[in-house]
Amino acid sequence: MRGSDNPYPSLLFEEHVDPANPAAGHHRMFVDTDKALKMVDSAGTVTVLGAAGGAVATDPIWAAAGDLAVGTGNDTAGVLTKGAAGGVLAMGNSAVIWNAGTSFPGSKATGDRYWRTDLGKEFYWDGTRWVSVELFTVHAVWTSSAPTADTKSFGHIPLWQTTHDVWLVDLRGMTYVGTTNDGTKYWTINVKKFSNDAVVASIVTSGDSASTATSHITAIDAVSSEKALYFDVIKTSTPGGIYPVVMLTYRLIAT
């Protein structure tokens, strides 16, 4: 075949089911009845032109039921094997993964999620540790119909030791101080460790207006290995009685 200067060249192929083999050292192109352009050599070996692996269903990339083909680069793919029950396709350390199993992956990036099949919970990597996606809350509500006028403890909270440490997120809630409340006469609400009474976080009413429901949030962002925490209210000077309605939020830590 010789080249042509024709800007619109064309070739006419006739469909063949079984074209004759060419002489040794030659190849014959033909269009099969499946409309695919193919080439046959002198030994009768047929190659589909422009196709890497033939039919997708019979491509050698498949090794087991549940395999997925995932791009690994430009014009490049690899096999992603079937994942554990409960997993979903996700990004893990900038790669496509099945994110489920009984132990966390060694390679991870901040924000990666992983379903622990043995714990029945989903966790995410916060850059330092695996913490539960679920945010837990524990409420400590003053249940009396009258405000407290005295310093006292209330609302003991059991935690997850020894199964899990927890990541304490914040202390939040509402305070309502009747009559007097100002910069010298006010209340402090603490969440404390049961083991040694150390203060973990506090809410202070010194900036609140008296007889006004006021919202508070105090960030904690700390690990706790305590078996329990508790709340107390402490007055400074002679403020009015207080209704403390507070809660602690936290996430579980897994390894």
In order, the DSSP letters of 103-141 are: S--SS--TT-EEEETTTTEEEEE-SSSEEESSPEEEEEE
**pLDDT given at position 136:** 97
Backbone torsions φ then ψ of 161, nearest 5 degrees = -65, 140
Rounded to an integer, what distance in angstroms lies between the CA atom of residue 113 and that of residue 88? 10
Residue 127 in domain: yes
**pLDDT given at position 52:** 52
- Identify residue 165 by its one-letter amino acid code: D
Question: pLDDT tens track of the chain, all 255 residues?
Answer: 455 666 767 777 777 777 889 899 888 888 888 778 888 899 989 888 865 555 677 777 888 888 888 888 887 888 888 888 878 888 888 888 889 999 999 999 999 999 999 999 999 999 999 999 999 999 887 767 667 888 888 888 899 999 999 999 999 999 999 999 999 999 999 999 999 999 999 999 999 999 999 999 999 999 999 999 999 999 999 999 998 899 999 999 999
* CA 167 to each of CA 48, 148, 188, 203: distance values in angstroms, whole numbers, following the listed order: 59, 30, 23, 19
Residue 76 in domain: no
Shared domain for 122 and 173, answered yes or no, is no
**pLDDT given at position 4:** 60
Of the three residues 133, 154, 171, the one that is the final residue of a domain is 133
Lookup: tokens for 162: 């020894």
Residue 2 in domain: no
Residue 72 in domain: no
Of the three residues 99, 133, 167, the one that is the final residue of a domain is 133
Of the three residues 117, 133, 149, the one that is the final residue of a domain is 133
At residue 50, the 3 state secondary structure works out as coil
**pLDDT given at position 1:** 45
Q: Quote the number of domains for the chain.
A: 3
Check which CATH number belongs to the domain holding 247 and give it: 2.60.120.40
Shared domain for 44 and 101, answered yes or no, is no
Domain range enclosing 41: 11-54
Residue 47 in domain: yes
